[in-house]
Amino acid sequence: MDIQVKQQGNDGLQFHLSNNSVSLVIETVTDGYIFLRHFGKKINQYNASNWAQFIDRAFSPGPYADNRCFSLDTQRQVYATSGMGDFRYPAIMISNEKDMGLDLRFQSYEIIEEIVKLTGLPSSHADKKAAKTLRLTLVDDVLAIHVKLFYTVFTDTSVIATHVEVTNNGTQPYVIEKIHSAMLDLEHSNYELIELAGAYAREKTFQKTPLKQGLMSVNSRRGASSHQATPFTCLATPTTNEEQGEVIGMHLVYSGDFEAGVFVDQLQKTRMFIGLNHETFHWNLAPKQTFTAPEALITYTNQGFGAMTRDMHHFVSNHILNGVYQKALRPILLNNWEATYFDFDESKILALADKAVEVGIELLVLDDGWFGKRDDDNSSLGDWFLHEKKLPKGLESLVEQVNEKGLQFGIWVEPEMISVDSELYRSHPDWCLHMANRDHLYSRNQLVLDLSRVDVQEYLIDAMSKVCTSANISYVKWDMNRNMTCVASALRQYGVKEISHRYMLGLYRILTSLTAKFPHILFESCSGGGGRYDLGMLAYMPQTWTSDNTDAVCRLQIQYGTSFIYPVITMGAHVSAVPNHQVGRITSLQTRGAIAMAGNLGYELDLTQLPQIELDEIEKQVQTYKAIRPIIQQGDLYRLLNPTTTPNETAFMYVDKDKTAAVITYCQVLAQAESPTVVLRLKGLDETASYIDMETKKSYGGDELMYVGLTIPLERTDFYAVTFHFEKC
């Protein structure tokens, strides 16, 4: 890890940030213009082998009357503005009634011997000696606008963290109309754009599209990162696969509206970007005020998607997740939702607890319906007090009985929402997001609380604190089941396009308070499943409910896409009943268990209605998972067969950090006549060691397993899955 600064001639500086695998080179030139020279594979030193050519390009203007060759429109910029001759997609736009241009020039730099934490926003963290930051200050002297760019390199990862601060040092107010957290100008456009798209119950679908001239965007305008999009994108060379090829990635540590993508210009150069979505964002920047944009991460590898994945998993586990559960093994849970829905009482919950103990489950979760008068999804959100008709002896009594059986206890909440049929709404109808003189828009019969308001934030901190102290609660599932509409505040304190971002700042303030108050609680984020599965939420809640779709076959695609950037230890995966409640498919309990064990295992079905043979099988699954849980949750992931390229087959592999154990999961979707035999070449093992198959007790060399392969038993059945467990001799 290093940041080198070299003098370039009389008025230029070169900044070279590097660690063991990546280099970022930035140069300043005449009159304070600043350009990107290299981002990619680590180089020892930069001597301008790719020297910039200044050519007279038609319709590309420049600042010098006597030099038609110099134009910002044709150079690789570090942080592009609008109105100053660069017609490509800008990273920042600032305006007032008189001016809409921004002419940023380099003023100064500082090297900081640690990471710089963001105030009020989630961001990465590192030990003091494990990171180093370069701060570049750019200034528009006419507008007195100062922009500070921060770049942090780490000792243990190729990831570079970056964020932007904008300060109004003048006397006039301005509006930030657009701001990106990261931007990279690249030399060519021979890439494919990778995104994780989807829909509710079909999240994180891997998609790739060849670049073309113009704008290609991935975005959300829903008030959340969303089921439909993910605040991540990467560029990959066309031949890239799991093991080889260049990959350049961008991630936003944020949970609200965002945009990411590329702009390919007329010279086939590519501008890559990620940041707040300008369609739903404006910020009024008064004199002497500073605005901080969310943190972004930029990554590079020339060793394919697998290397990018493992580096991101390592980074998220070590630099994004926080607290007691940063690396702690996750408990195996039983959630009552699909077992009872809203129809439960104390006796039903305790009967489920008894069965959970029998099969070795560790945590019982009480889902929706325990509060207010909540007997369906039409009422009571906001009324965070006990539904006494269902639990007349009280929550504390129920939890004590569950704890006495040897189970931890968890509870479901949806704090950001409000029902019109609630005591909270009747007391505070102005607390929801709504536009003056317009009727409400409903989704799932609920409205969204206005978290831009401090009084609403204080209410939720108090209400959730009371929930968390009402009994011995060790797990909280924090749900959010609708997207934002009518995004305006009754207080009218801020511009209407500020509200969605101020909502996120309010949410982060609430989560900062609660996670500090209750460090022993495992918080799991949920938004109808994966509707807000992002790095921003993971900074507070180290686990996410991956999808409401628990069908094992659907989960192959969902968990594959999720695994692309998010560690397995963050990914909730449950065994549910069949026919599956989302798609109606019938799969074997073995297959459902094998796919759920590829994440954080849980169960979401009525154990009291299962025959003993199935309870015995679940008990065996739980015992198996406890043995392999450290390998899956804390090991390195290798995707052996991908459902995007081999739709009928999927195979994942997990290897612990010391290469002493491995788990392989293989799934066949549909049986085929005269299907070929499958031999999987394993990855990530110690090729000098021997490994024992813990089922058959046969021993194989690591080199044999990797270079000869492991035969998968041929099964003539649909929806077949099998798990292998190897331990080093």
Residues assigned a catalytic role: 479, 548
Cα–Cα dist 413/381, whole Å: 9
Cα–Cα dist 514/312, whole Å: 27
Cα–Cα dist 300/317, whole Å: 18
Cα–Cα dist 377/421, whole Å: 10
Task: Give yes or no for a contact between 292 and 186, defined as CB atoms under 8 angstroms apart.
Answer: no
CA nearest to 641, candidates 597, 681, 590, 598: 681
CA nearest to 351, candidates 307, 276, 401, 418: 401
DSSP letters for 684-722: S--TTSEEEETTT--EEEHHHHHHT-EEEPP--SSSEEE
Q: How many C-beta atoms lie closer than 10 Å to residue 617's C-beta?
A: 17
Cα–Cα dist 417/374, whole Å: 14
Q: How many C-beta atoms lie closer than 10 Å to residue 128's C-beta?
A: 9
SS3 205: strand
Residue 702 amino acid letter: G
Sequence-ordered strand ranges (E) for 543-627: 543-545, 571-576, 600-604
CA 148 to chain centre: 25
DSSP letters for 388-411: TTT-TT-HHHHHHHHHHTT-EEEE
The first and second tokens of residue 693, run together, are 């198959």
Task: Give yes or no for a contact between 252 and 258, defined as CB atoms under 8 angstroms apart.
Answer: yes
Q: Is the Cα torsion angle 77, 81, 84, 85 positive or negative in sign?
A: positive
CA end-to-end span of the chain, whole Å?
A: 36
Cα–Cα dist 474/239, whole Å: 47
Cα–Cα dist 646/634, whole Å: 27
CA nearest to 372, candidates 326, 420, 331: 420
Residues 34-58: b if buried by 16+ CB within 10 A, e if exposed: bbbbbbbeeeeebeeeeeeeeeeee
Cα–Cα dist 703/707, whole Å: 6
**Pairing mode of beta strands 160-168, 145-154:** antiparallel
Going by the DSSP 8-state scheme, the letter that residue 637 receives in this structure is E
